[in-house]
Amino acid sequence: MVVMPRPLHALVVDDDRGVRLAVGEALEAAGHRPFPAASAEEAIEVVRFHPVHFSILDVHVRADDGLRIIASLRQVAGTLPVIFMSGAFTPDIVERAQGLGAHRCLDKPLDIRSLLGAVEELIDLESL
């Protein structure tokens, strides 16, 4: 795993505190700076006040649809690369996520190595 010379900022949106912490710790260990959010509102506040390079977003955040959340985030932050995660992907959800330009759709429970591999691919692809 290559550690980036500067920390990239990652928005991590999940209503499960344990997932936010685990993803955040993995990103920090890889040299990035996570910004956790438990809701759409918190996520929008993060992108309003912090430069964010990419996002890792749960598809089901409380009563919200993560696919709608990314659209709202992009209105504030512009182009925002995204990796979606869910414990309940359906073919329709995956198709909609891909239509929104999702880099990857990862199943929960997350495999941290797969997540970090997807992050590295995203960084290379987007030239972050």
CATH number for the domain spanning 49: value is 3.40.50.2300
What are the pLDDT tens digits along the chain (128 aa)?
Answer: 444 456 899 999 999 999 999 999 999 999 999 999 999 999 999 999 999 999 999 999 877 788 889 989 999 998 999 999 999 999 999 999 999 999 999 999 999 999 999 999 999 998 88
Q: Is residue 3 part of a domain?
A: no
In a domain, 4, yes or no: no
Residue 30 in domain: yes
> What is the structure's pLDDT at 119?
96
Query: How far apart are the C-alpha atoms of 93 and 90, rounded to whole Å?
Result: 5
Structural domain harbouring 38: 12-126
Q: What is the pLDDT of residue 46?
A: 97
pLDDT of 57 reads 96
SS3 content of the chain, % helix, strand, coil (to 5): 45, 20, 30
User: Does residue 88 form part of some domain?
Assistant: yes
Residue 2 belongs to some domain of the structure: no
Please count the structural domains in the chain.
1
- pTM of the model as a whole: 0.92
pLDDT for 2 equals 47
Q: Are 105 and 115 in contact (CB under 8 A)?
A: no
3 state DSSP class of 38:
coil
In a domain, 6, yes or no: no
Q: Which residues pair with 37 in a beta bridge?
A: 13
Residues paired with 82 in a beta bridge: 55
Q: Flag whether 1 is in a domain.
A: no
